[in-house]
A and B are shown apart, each in its own frame.
Chain A
Amino acid sequence: MFEIISNTVAAFFTLSIFSFLYKDNPFYKFAEALFVGVSMGFAIPLVYENAFIPFVYTPIFLGHKFSLIIPSLLGLLYTFRFSKNLSWLSRYPIVFGMGIVGMGVPMSIHSSVLVQMRSAMLPLDTVNTALIFIGTVTILLYFFFSKDHKGVYGKFTNVGVWFMMIGFGASFGYTVMARISLLIGRIQFLVGDWLGFIK
């Protein structure tokens, strides 16, 4: 019984959101506002239960790991964002976060730059490696803006534009596929889980 009620509520809100495709209406506005409210309301106890209790309260008060008080206080400094005079205190946890990001820079350079460069410098013995070579060089030339894209140079950059267009096309095609997949998921819920027409 609970499943029927919960599915019906979910179906009502799904249809309310879809109704925007017809035109803006009060059902859509209601569902949208409720979604924002529920998301926030859901997030607070979720974080409290899954983050605050197991990673702050339990280890400090029950496990007596008092060293955790320092990062907890550092985290609390975020709340000073709301104070006009003391908002500068919130920069300290941000700085700490930036430090962690900095730690990843050398490793990111390895995986996102060095390994990629190595793979772009293979012998041109297959069509694929030749295409990668031409694509990389012509696109890099396109993004060199200190020279006018005219004459022979312009022809090279034009090839780069074609490579980029093909890349954008592939990316857009996958985006369409992803959006249709989401619609399929919702319709599977409406027609299958709710109405029971899919067996």
Chain B
Amino acid sequence: MNGKIIAFFDKMQKLDRRYIYLMVALSIIIPLVIPFNSPTFTSETTENIYRKIDSFAGDPTKAVLLSFSHDASTMPELFPMEVSVLRHCFERNVRIFTICWSPAAAPLMEHAINTAKENYDVTSGVDYVNFGYKPNSLFLPIVLGMGEDISEAIDTDSQGRKIKNLDIMKEIKNYDDMNLVIDFSGGGAALSWVTYARAKFGVNVAAGITAVMVADYYPYLQTGQLIGMFRGLKGAAEYEKMVDVFASYETDEYPNGRPFSKEVIKNVKVPITKSTIIYIEDGVEFDTGIPLNYKYKVARIGMNAQSVAHIMIIVFIILGNIGFFLTRKKDNL
């Protein structure tokens, strides 16, 4: 029996790595093609961003700035976050500004806005403004200038319109009004906002980052310099769920979404296999009839695949280690 086990692990140790690639690929493809409902637990780092944005709901004197500091290579993780945040703002009537610092980010920013606004009646210049691409060399003058007057720091938007003439700017002047900046990046771009805008003007800064950067950002979260953080695809999935559960909620009592509640988010499930938003609370189903488009659940579907792939990797690591120790033991005999 022992000999058989050692022979099995011997064989596993020599397994062609291409079989492992194939299995990882299958572990991702199958959950994507055949989605299933797995629970999405929200974390405080993501909830804080939701609550901050929600506190601006319906207030024309408050706005959020979304800074796009990435290119297409990090889209799978960052794009669902951006769409979710935009969707939340459109649902809850929160004013939005968008800006990017590299030419390659400009079309992605447009794409995110267009994807999110398809189902909402929102107007550029009134509900949101896209500042467009600004050269990275102007980062400091713009970031510091917005502390005094946004329309002085940024002259025109992406369509060439004078910022100061836009309706949205009537009650928004500087960081006192645009009091939340969320930077989406695959690097350390959000830290520049912490260094300049947060330190000098006390702006609330949040980061939407790829998972690979999360460990680097934790010290800034722990010190309170970041109010919240989207941690890769998981963060995007959490936010998608919160938007479904709170912002999209429509009843006579809450015609424009319900307020955030830890109890509710803990107990409510939103099945992603359905085509409409359905709430399942204590076994009771409530179909809202609101379409749950693929673009609004892409991160949650992705997290299914992520979970299966992680389990597979963990199994491989355990098997590999058992094999390693057994083989070493055999060699020592």
Q: What is A's interface to B at a CB cutoff of 8 Å?
A: 21-22, 43, 46-47, 49-51, 55, 100, 103-104, 107-108, 110-112, 115-116, 118-119, 167, 170-171, 174-188, 191-192, 197-199
Contacts and interface: CB of A to CB of B under 8 A. Distances in A.
9 contacts: A51-B135, A112-B191, A115-B225, A174-B213, A177-B234, A181-B77, A184-B28, A191-B29, A197-B33
B305 interface: yes
B223 A107 contact: no
B196 A178 contact: no
Nearest to A185: B76
Nearest to A96: B137
| A-B pairs with lowest CB-CB distance, top 8 | A185-B76, A178-B211, A178-B212, A171-B215, A50-B103, A177-B211, A119-B223, A46-B103
Given A115-B223, A191-B33, A177 B140 contact: no
A104 B28 contact: no
Given A47-B103, A188-B76, A107 B306 contact: no
Majority SS at the chain A contact face: helix
A111 B32 contact: no
A118 to B, nearest CB: 8
Given A100-B140, A107-B200, A175 B211 contact: yes
A107 B210 contact: no
B106 A21 contact: no
Given A47-B103, A188-B298, A198-B32, A174 B212 contact: yes
A179 B310 CA distance: 11
Contact of B306 (A22, A49, A180): A180
Given A115-B223, A177-B211, A187 B103 contact: no
Interface of B: 18, 21, 24-25, 28-29, 32-33, 35, 73-77, 103-104, 106, 133, 135, 138, 140, 191, 194-196, 198-200, 210-215, 219-220, 222-225, 231-234, 294, 298, 301-302, 305-306, 309-310, 313
A110 B223 CA distance: 12
Nearest to B215: A171
Given A46-B104, A115-B223, A191-B29, A181 B195 contact: no
A182 B24 CA distance: 13
Majority SS at the chain B contact face: helix
A112 B133 CA distance: 28
B135 A177 contact: no
Contact of A178 (B199, B232, B305): B232
Contact of A198 (B191, B234, B301): B301
B158 to A, nearest CB: 10
A187 B29 contact: yes
Given A46-B103, A100-B140, A104-B196, A181 B211 contact: yes
Contacts of A191: 29, 32-33
Given A184-B32, A188-B302, A170 B76 contact: no
Nearest to A186: B76
Contact of B135 (A55, A178, A198): A55
Contacts of B29: 187, 191
B310 A180 contact: yes
Nearest to B25: A187
B314 to A, nearest CB: 10
A178 B222 CA distance: 22
A110 B220 CA distance: 12
Contacts of B194: 111
Given A178-B77, A181-B306, 11 more contacts: A104-B140, A111-B198, A112-B191, A116-B219, A174-B232, A181-B77, A183-B24, A184-B32, A187-B25, A188-B76, A198-B33
B191 A22 contact: no
A112 B215 CA distance: 15
B75 A185 contact: yes
